Structure 1
Amino acid sequence: MAVIASVLALSQMPVQAAESLGTVTGSAQGSSGFFGSSPSVNTGETPPSDIQQIQKFKQDTTNAETTITRGQYEMLTPTDSYTQSLQNLPNAVVVSSGDSMDGDDVYINGFSKSLINFTLDGIPLNDNDSYTYYSNEFIPSVLVAGTKYYPGAQSAAIPGLASFGGSIETYSLKPSPYFFLRPMVGGGSFGKYNYGGLVNTGLFLKNIAPTSAWLYVNTNHRDGYFQNNGAIQTQFLFKSVTQIGPGALTLFFTQNNQRFNYYNGATAAQIAQFGNDYNGYTSNPFLANGRPNTFYTGYNYNRYLNWLGYGKYEGEVGKVKFSEQFYYYYGNGYGAGATTFTQTLLTPAGSVQRVAPAADQVLLRNSINNTHRWGNIVKLAYPLGPVDTELGFWFNHNNTTHDAQYFNQANVYLGSTYIEPVVTDTYEPYIVFNYKPVERLKLAAGVKYLYANRDFKDYVALAQGQPGVFNASFHQVLPSVGANYRVMEGINLFANFTQNANPPGYNQFYTGVYNPSLAPQKANTYDLGLVWNRGFWKGELDLFRVDFRNYILSTTVQVGSFNQTVLANAGKAINQGISW
């Protein structure tokens, strides 16, 4: 996928014969036998075809597949979220709250972003506890090589847990064999500006381990947009490709640190008077006795760190193509506020107590989410006679602690209203077969097995002698079949059926009464389409239907003489339509 394709692209650049990665060692080759291989685009080298055609439709696919090219991303402003490129897709709606630094909401075929699968270089990005997705935590659009869009589950080879509305698979640019340095500076309304730069090393270690890399640093800043919510975002990204033996090693790291005020954050006059952390929702920045509340204003903003890194080795030995990608994600941040009300807290001493603020003061709150996530994606492709076979396995371990901490105005920790660690392990092996019985016809069949196990602890409940340790596990066999028939040159028909499943989120454990029988949401996705490429006239027509089962919603049930909230599976829903 990304690694070998990147080495191939680098090796084909006509710098000098000695600077070609393939020429130096004579071993590395491109690997394009895997489902959903990445677009081959280097930094600073957008192919002319990507400029001429911002969307491309795969002709021989057994499922609907649209590539959003690098040309589309070059039409965006540098500070735009990459999700703005989805605006041109049929049945896709991108809603911005006013600025890309706040993130966008995405809807496709009637499904929200928590039911759409988002990946970066093949790594699933949706939150493991709620399956939502935050576009403002993604890499900048200036570093995107392209996006492959699948409007439904489509294939057993797509990893992830939220593909009902489709899969948005985005890939980062590959390093170029040329050296260049590109400063980036911009400015706009409402005090928004950015500064940074991109440097590409060009080839080095040519006779040992031919390598090329890029490094990107950037800061986005705004005083406020519409609601005066100021924000600062710092980004640091690195990617390298090195040819080693029969394959290539890609190393990637992205660090995206954000700090932003809430909406109605501050006017320029308020910031000048009270400092950058002042927030309009803090009411009066002074206490009732007239003294300034100097500790209070500093907690009225959000801060979040998003770090993701991976190492991937991909190559080819004989007829066997292989890929192994290990990744690690760290997220840490909080939303903050204050209250004058007494809180029930689990104190550092281990007891649960009612804690009130001191006279004429408030309790400061930090709602922390601390996440450690790591996983591995292994793929193997090998022809078994006339059948092309792809085997794969995705493992993901996610450990998130949700902790609502309270402090006094001297910044002394008093306790937490909840401390809830959630550990989720996901196992997803798959196998896919592709077969062409005749030249005009391509058949595909695959199956994926999903197993997810989630452990949840509620330390506040345990400290009160109440049930606070829960476990839930889910498993599902998910088949996929498809066909593509070439009617004539440049015109193809395709049909696809794929099942998908989505285990309950961790709110299963804290929403009302615990329901141990809560089952995963499921969907059968049907696609029938036509793809054509008749010179200047290119396009795709897709008829889709998603039969949604076991939809999870919150409902009220009567327990004795009391009404209790419970999460339950609520039957079926159908999403269907046409896209063109």
Structure 2
Amino acid sequence: MTSKTGAHLRLLGVSLLALSIPMLSGVAHAEDASPGASTSDEASAQAKSGIAEGSDILVTATRANELAPVTASLQATQPQSIISRSFIEDSLPATADFNQIALISPSVSNYGAANGVGLSESKAQIRGFQDGEYNVTYDGVPFGDTNDPTHHSNTFFPSNTVETLIVDRGPGNASQLGQATFGGNINMFSRATREDASAEIKGSYGSYNTWLLRGVLQSGAIRQLGGAEVVLSAQHIGSDGARTYSPFKSNNVFGKIMIPIGPDAKLTILGTYNENSFNQPDKDGATLSQIAQYGKYFSLNNDPNSQTYWGYNHTHKTTDFEIVKFEANLSPFATFDNRAYTYSYDNETLSGSDVTLYATASAADIAKANMVTLTPGGAKTVGVPGYTKTNKYRVYGDIAKTRVDFGFGAITAGAWLEWSDTYRQQRDVDLLTGNPNYVEKAVKDPVTGIATPANIKFDQNSNTNHTEVFAELELRPIAGLKITPGFKHVNFNRRIDADYNQTTRYPQKLSNTYTVNLPFATVNYEVNPALSVYGQFARGFLAPPLSYLYVADPSFSTIKPERSTNYQAGAVYHGHNLSIDADVYKIDFSNKFAQDLTAPASQGVVYYNQGAVQYKGIEGQVTYAFTQAIAVFANASRNYAKTRNPGEARTQVANAPEYTAAGGILYKQGPIRFSLIDKYIGRQWFAEGEPDAYKSNGYNTAILSARYEIGPVRIGLEVNNLFNAKPVTNISPGKTTLFDQYYYQTGRAFTGDVTLTF
């Protein structure tokens, strides 16, 4: 990067640190910094290290980019959207989860959050790729569940822990790590430390009796510790929730320290702990019969003789996440970066067995549902069937990278090692008494002949052992041109050691290993300091989830990892008043997992690869600044995500909108902050095959936000879902349409907040 372009490393008033934390999908460069520099120099330091880890962050400090809620980097090698802390603070509810933050991006849609923004989990889609088909990272560390790489949006990282979020709509380079490299990446970056000391206290209150209290403390540079900087944050949320009898509580603490180690190295230690407690059934949608009787936001009731009694349906989740990062300049031409990390998740749930059994609300159906068996092999008696569920895991990993610059190019190489240990169980109980409910079918161990207790659905330990090694060669044959081929080898092992395996319900020890070699190639050409163009070719990979080992004999299955081939090209322009970027893409997705329904009964459940999906489309985002204070923005996408199965008509993938659009106006000057932003999610289907009963013609969500500063006090007002739209956002198909579960967008919600800074 030249000194001229390096001077433009700024976005929306966000610190350089937020825009340069590594682990996205490319290389950043600067000329004067080191890992031992202070926080204000950290971006330049990391830029100099140039570890090829993610989307290059080069955002020109023009009028348009200082106001834009979302923009892209001039050094991007794939389509991206950079979302700053300024947008998170000024334009979104403080309870927002990372999917709500990412929603402003083109091609991103979501559903869930049916209890209110951040008050229940949501799921995001990128170009029609579902959760589990793309990566989510935090400070460059990929994370997700261990049975498949899905995510819990409000469980690990509430918005007080996020400085910047970047949506990369593509697999990245070879150095982009994660289990699901073909659907894209949501990359979060932790709150930045600052050179100057400060403290902030925020309180908010709003609809559904929702209140939030948050504190953020910045130590500033501590001279006695060589310029070390610390940031601490704590947050509490309490709410009655938008749905009936669905209260939600959350507590989060976060801490981070950056310690310079001489002039050429630094150590960063980060930790966060989160606790959520809430009442909802394990499968929490409402049937049409329940909606007709109790309204769109029915979830639970106060009848202790029903499975939907609030006291029988509750979940307690705790998580922690820790990273120790060491960065060093080994020489003027070589750098080294290592991140050791661990994180855990513990979900303890009590739930009614099947709340959809009340779909008809007839006395006969309710009586039939409320039967339990309290002795093995005994007769059924009146009760309330439910179950306990545990899903807990601990993950350990290490990511090491080194980069050597040789003038006309650079080479980056590294490895990712990760291991996980998981325990999962589910047992049937009578919710009235808490006693075991012996309701499961009789099953015997085929080896020992010992019968499985009829109250145990599964009791299972599992592990993953995951290794990725990669190398990238960045070539700079002429000024402004970067050509970066890369290669990655993946080795992924899943292992089950179950006392009672899920589905089969008898003891099993099973294992499977998946390997793949993935090529990558990206090009970025800086036409001039304001315009760049890029292109990408990449292969993606997704290992089968743990559920494909819930079979009597895995040798009958012929499952191979899902694969993708990505082609993308685009351009980014940062003018004084105009910021614009656009791209086109085509992704071929093959080896889709399916169950072989023709397999003989003697083989049990058998899985194989059948069919494919093709994704293609066009995307763009633009911001125009009329003055230093006023700007308008818009983004949109047209997304094609259709099946390509032999002998079948091509249909749009479920939960894959055909298009998205967003637009709004922003005003930032002096003590005033104002924004009106609307996101539209286009036509989609909630089930495969485009059935009319599961079609949505599209819906929008508008957020109005206004803030005014009076000295150290900032007063704010937000109106979420300004136009009070309450459409269906998802339908979970049941055994018949009578038992389908519906989810609706919550109605208009108001929040007032006061922030004191000193």
Shared topology, TM-score over 0.5?
Answer: yes
Where has structure 1 moved over 4 Å in runs of 4 or more? 4-10, 26-29, 36-40, 46-51, 279-283, 296-299, 338-344, 355-364, 406-415, 464-467, 562-565
Give how far 1:138 is off: 3.5
Equivalent residue for 1:237, pick from 254, 258, 280: 254
Partner of 2:575: 534
Post-superposition Cα deviations, 1:222-246, rounded to whole Å, max 9, x if no partner, equal 1121344111111111111111233
Partner of 1:196: 214
The residue identity in structure 1 corresponding to 2:232 is L
The residue identity in structure 2 corresponding to 1:198 is V
Is residue 53–residue 69 contact of structure 1 (8 Å, CA) maintained in 2?
no
CA distance in 2, matches of 1:525, 1:546: 5
Give how far 1:255 is off: 0.9
Give how far 1:397 is off: 0.8
- Of residues 529-538 and 325-334 in structure 1, the stretch that sits farther from structure 2 once superposed is 529-538
Partner of 2:94: 78
Partner of 1:55: 70
Which structure is higher in strand share? 1
How has the CA–CA distance of structure 1 residues 444 and 259 changed in structure 2, closer, same or farther, with 3 Å as cutoff? Answer: same
Is residue 8–residue 22 contact of structure 1 (8 Å, CA) maintained in 2?
no
CA distance in 1, matches of 2:383, 2:163: 52
Is residue 371–residue 381 contact of structure 2 (8 Å, CA) maintained in 1?
no
Give the 3-state SS of the residue equivalent to 2:208 in structure 1. Answer: coil
Establish whether residue 368 from structure 1 lines up as the match of residue 386 from structure 2.
no
Is residue 349–residue 388 contact of structure 2 (8 Å, CA) maintained in 1?
yes
- Of residues 78-87 and 191-200 in structure 1, the stretch that sits farther from structure 2 once superposed is 78-87
Give how far 1:316 is off: 1.1
The residue identity in structure 2 corresponding to 1:541 is A
Give how far 1:58 is off: 1.8
Residues 25-174 of structure 1 aligned to structure 2 (within 5 Å): 30-32=45-47, 33-36=50-53, 51-74=66-89, 75-98=91-114, 99=116, 100-174=118-192
The residue identity in structure 2 corresponding to 1:378 is A
TM-score by length of 1: 0.82
The residue identity in structure 2 corresponding to 1:301 is H
Give the 3-state SS of the residue equivalent to 1:66 in structure 2. Answer: strand
What 5-or-longer segments of structure 1 have no aligned partner? Answer: 11-19, 41-45, 266-278, 288-292, 345-352
How has the CA–CA distance of structure 1 residues 325 and 21 changed in structure 2, closer, same or farther, with 3 Å as cutoff? Answer: closer
Partner of 2:31: none
Give the 3-state SS of the residue equivalent to 1:88 in structure 2. Answer: coil
CA distance in 2, matches of 1:481, 1:359: 65
Query: How many residues are treated as equivalent by the alignment?
Result: 532
- Of residues 87-96 and 506-515 in structure 1, the stretch that sits farther from structure 2 once superposed is 506-515
Give how far 1:343 is off: 7.1
CA distance in 1, matches of 2:339, 2:385: 45
How has the CA–CA distance of structure 1 residues 280 and 118 changed in structure 2, closer, same or farther, with 3 Å as cutoff? Answer: closer
Give the 3-state SS of the residue equivalent to 1:165 in structure 2. Answer: coil
Residues 206-355 of structure 1 aligned to structure 2 (within 5 Å): 206-245=223-262, 246-262=264-280, 281=300, 284-285=303-304, 298-318=311-331, 319-338=333-352, 354=376
Post-superposition Cα deviations, 1:5-48, rounded to whole Å, max 9, x if no partner, equal 759999xxxxxxxxx97489x999712202346999xxxxx999
Partner of 1:379: 401
Give how far 1:342 is off: 5.5
CA distance in 1, matches of 2:394, 2:125: 28
How has the CA–CA distance of structure 1 residues 420 and 210 changed in structure 2, closer, same or farther, with 3 Å as cutoff? Answer: same
How has the CA–CA distance of structure 1 residues 506 and 341 changed in structure 2, closer, same or farther, with 3 Å as cutoff? Answer: farther
Give how far 1:356 is off: 6.4
CA distance in 2, matches of 1:396, 1:215: 28
How has the CA–CA distance of structure 1 residues 207 and 578 changed in structure 2, closer, same or farther, with 3 Å as cutoff? Answer: same
The residue identity in structure 1 corresponding to 2:254 is L
CA distance in 1, matches of 2:143, 2:397: 12
Is residue 562–residue 590 contact of structure 2 (8 Å, CA) maintained in 1?
yes
Residues 399-414 of structure 1 aligned to structure 2 (within 5 Å): 399-406=421-428
Post-superposition Cα deviations, 1:171-213, rounded to whole Å, max 9, x if no partner, equal 0121112222211211111111112311222232x24443211
CA distance in 2, matches of 1:5, 1:242: 18
The share of aligned pairs that are identical, in percent, is 19
Post-superposition Cα deviations, 1:141-166, rounded to whole Å, max 9, x if no partner, equal 24422122211112111100113221
Is residue 95–residue 159 contact of structure 2 (8 Å, CA) maintained in 1?
yes
Is residue 279–residue 310 contact of structure 2 (8 Å, CA) maintained in 1?
no
For CA contacts below 8 A with separation 6 or more, give which structure has more relative contact order.
2
CA distance in 1, matches of 2:258, 2:249: 31
Give how far 1:513 is off: 6.3
Calculate the aligned-residue CA RMSD, in Å.
3.6
Is residue 328–residue 372 contact of structure 1 (8 Å, CA) maintained in 2?
yes
- Of residues 298-307 and 230-239 in structure 1, the stretch that sits farther from structure 2 once superposed is 298-307
Equivalent residue for 1:520, pick from 558, 561, 576: 561
Give the 3-state SS of the residue equivalent to 1:190 in structure 2. Answer: helix
CA distance in 2, matches of 1:104, 1:359: 38
The residue identity in structure 2 corresponding to 1:439 is A
